[in-house]
Amino acid sequence: MRIRLSLIIFLFLYISLQAQQYAPVPEWYSDYDVKFYKIDIEADDTGSDVKGYAEVVAEIGVQGLKQFILELAEAVRTDSVKMNGQIASYRRDGDLLYVLSPAVLSPGSICRVTVYYAAVDVKSNGFFSAVSNRKDSSWDIPVTWTLSEPFNARNWFPCKQHLPDKADSAYIFVTVPANLKAGAPGVLSAVTPMPGGKMRYEWKSHYPAAFYLLSFAVADYQEYTVYTHPKGIDKPVPVQNYIYNREGYLDKYKAIIDTTAALIELYSELYLPYPFANEKYGHCVAPMGGGMEHQTMTTLSEFDFLLVAHELAHQWFGDLVTCASFQDIWVNEGFTTYTEYLALERMASRKRALEWLREAHAMAAWSQDGSVFVPAESAGDHWRVFNMSLSYKKGALLVHHIRRIINDDRKFFDVLRGFLRKYGFSVATGMDFKQYLEEQTGMDFTLFFNQWYFGEGFPVFDISWRKNAGYIEILAEHAGSAPATPTFAVDLDVRIVKADGADTLVQLPVRTGRDFFGINVHGDVTGIEIDPGYYILKQLRNSAPVRDFPTSDSFVQCTAHVKRRQNLSVSFSAETDRNCRVRLTDVTGEKVFTEMTVKRKKEITIPMEQLPNTTYLLYVQNGRQLYIRKIVKSAY
């Protein structure tokens, strides 16, 4: 889901306490497993009323049960109920419908409950209305559409609003006046004439789907279909668009609609082949002020590149793999929002992608506190769940940060693909992703998630630096923007800018609120750039050269050039009084050739005879001091 900025600009005012607890779910959710929904209703473009019936087919749980519970809003009128084809007794209690069985439903048995109902005068809840009706004034066309996320499916059909219980399949039949069309998820299996000069659009989907991803939209639509050819799929996939039947509409948006095909092909390479290829992808247009990723049939307000890119990405993150709880909405929105950046990176330009990152940083910084994980006490607040600053922008920057920590794009995308395979057509939490990430990378992300997922805010830096003979000194001071997370441990990229253009990128291990680094560098240093890749959410109050701050002279000496048969000698200005970490890597800092910990040494030797003749980086960290030097090994 992507909400128009004008609707959510106030969301940064929300304050959340750090929490890892999940809100309780009703005990009856374990009574049965939904297998199938059939929704057969009438609707039009003049109002938000719907009427008809819905069938829910379910497998009874291990305890058996005497009454079958469904969620259906109190305002929805119930006309009659059947169980397994027979008229059944029922009672209403608030937003719950209790269907009474004449006998105990045995464990493992299949039960079919049919509810005849009418949702009349559905109350508007702004963007999150279950059923909305509005005229798009730009094109003078009325539209009726649904949006059930996160808690409003029960306002227009009886269901079980439990994310882990995906229905195996769903039919959505919508009867409309003959001059209109109705779009919905799945494949349009038939358009059947009905009494009164109406037509029934019969959509059928055979992929597992969460309750909130079922939808319909009704308007005077025209159909425009293009085809995409994703790698790994042996037949073309239709991109079926229900767009306004107005002169000039297709001409205005045709280029971006056609771009959807290229985006599907891109995402199929980055992630997995389009997961619903046996059916379709498509769009229904509605004046909703954003978009909603209904499975295989997104509803959106207009064809904007980033809006299309965002909602399409949900078919992987949100539809294929769904958050197990809306407290973990990051699984849906964080990865999808980051995919906007990937789309720009590959289909627009590096410059435009960097602009997107800068904008994302600015918007994420709106929330000085609050966590990406939605605390239990806020789990029922849809505006907190869909907080643009936290769930979307900060959530996206967490993914970008993880990409930098892995520092290997092949491995990063392998992790994303493997996660989608493991949890495909099911649900996952943020901690499920953390566990899979650690399994695949061998890295420990506990501190990262405690700081960035469950923690609040971001580091606010004051950085000072000065030149010295043969090296520069950097003092990095910071505090968290929120009291709940007073400091952060991050590896901060710094680009050292030199007059000769041979800039150097180093990574500073910031671990406390005040960290000092001495960095060996030759040439005339003209300045430094902090986090040039925008990997870390932060604010930078100051980054300036200074004349005086308390430091010490460089504590390491070594040669910069090693011949073929030589080893590298590293000497310390004083005997090391604590564990000193020494690493020799390639010039990217990615591949570690040598790593050791030394204590109480004046000198050490690093074997280099078996290493290739190339350029290396030597890192020596002693407490809060870091020494970095370029080492060249040659045959002469």
Give the DSSP letter string of 565-600: TPPEEEEESS---S-EEEEEEETTS-SEEEEEEE-S
Let me know if residue 521 belongs to a domain.
Answer: yes
Please provide residue 420's backbone torsions phi and psi, each rounded to the nearest 5 degrees. Answer: -65, -40
d(CA 34, CA 59): 7
Q: Which is it for strands 561-562 and 625-633: parallel, antiparallel or unpaired? A: parallel
Let me know if residue 11 belongs to a domain.
Answer: no
Kindly state the tokens that stand for 240: 């079926």
Residues in a beta bridge with 222: 243
Q: How many CB atoms lie within 10 A of CB 213?
A: 27
Residue 156 and residue 131 in contact, taking contact as beta carbons nearer than 8 Å: yes
pLDDT for position 609: 85
Final residue before a domain boundary, out of 324, 347, 377? 324
d(CA 404, CA 416): 14
Q: Which is it for strands 77-83 and 110-119: parallel, antiparallel or unpaired? A: antiparallel
What are the distances in angstroms from CA 63 to CA 24, 59, 160, 174?
20, 11, 18, 36
Chain position carrying tokens 């027979």: 86
Kindly state the tokens that stand for 426: 């099911």
With 0-12 / 13-18 / 19 or more C-beta atoms within 10 angstroms meaning exposed / middle / buried, residue 216 is buried
Kindly state the tokens that stand for 524: 């005339």
Helix (H) or strand (E) holding 411: helix 409-423
Residues 235 and 352 in one domain: no
Residues 591 and 499 in one domain: no
d(CA 48, CA 58): 29
d(CA 143, CA 132): 8
Kindly state the tokens that stand for 116: 């005849």
Residues 253 and 355 in one domain: no
pLDDT for position 559: 73
Which of the residues in the chain have pLDDT under 70? 4-20, 122-126, 543-555, 560, 564, 574-578, 587-590, 623-625, 636
Report the CATH number that the domain containing residue 417 is assigned in CATH: 1.10.390.10
Sheet with 2-3, side-by-side order of all strands: 2-3, 290-292, 298-300, 281-285, 237-244, 221-228
With 0-12 / 13-18 / 19 or more C-beta atoms within 10 angstroms meaning exposed / middle / buried, residue 410 is exposed
Residues 91 and 168 in one domain: yes
Residue 633 and residue 564 in contact, taking contact as beta carbons nearer than 8 Å: yes
Residues 354 and 236 in one domain: no
pLDDT for position 634: 81
* Three-class DSSP labels, 200-216: EEEEEECCCECHHHCCC
Let me know if residue 551 belongs to a domain.
Answer: no
Sequence letter at residue 560: A
Let me know if residue 18 belongs to a domain.
Answer: no
Let me know if residue 40 belongs to a domain.
Answer: yes
Q: How many CB atoms lie within 10 A of CB 132?
A: 22
Final residue before a domain boundary, out of 405, 426, 452? 452
Chain position carrying tokens 């003092």: 475
Report the CATH number that the domain containing residue 573 is assigned in CATH: 2.60.40.3080
Let me know if residue 15 belongs to a domain.
Answer: no
Residues 38 and 170 in one domain: yes
Let me know if residue 6 belongs to a domain.
Answer: no
pLDDT for position 297: 98
Residues 425 and 467 in one domain: no
Final residue before a domain boundary, out of 427, 452, 477? 452
d(CA 498, CA 496): 6
Closest by Cα among 270, 297, 269 to 284:
297
Residue 526 and residue 447 in contact, taking contact as beta carbons nearer than 8 Å: no
Chain position carrying tokens 């990378």: 441
Closest by Cα among 33, 32, 114 to 66:
32
Strands (E), 206-269: 217-219, 221-228, 237-244
Residues 64 and 210 in one domain: yes
Residues 423 and 466 in one domain: no
Residue 523 and residue 502 in contact, taking contact as beta carbons nearer than 8 Å: yes
Report the CATH number that the domain containing residue 139 is assigned in CATH: 2.60.40.1730
Structural domain containing residue 465: 459-545
Exposure string for 550-567, b = 16+ CB within 10 A, e = fewer: eeeebbbebeeebeeeee
Domain tally, the chain: 4
Handedness of CA 590, 596, 600, 602 (dihedral sign): negative
Residues 485 and 576 in one domain: no
pLDDT for position 578: 64
Residues 388 and 468 in one domain: no
Let me know if residue 504 belongs to a domain.
Answer: yes
Report the CATH number that the domain containing residue 475 is assigned in CATH: 2.60.40.1840
Strands (E), 441-577: 459-468, 471-480, 490-498, 504-510, 514-520, 525-530, 539-545, 556-558, 561-562, 568-572
Residues 489 and 623 in one domain: no
pLDDT for position 75: 93
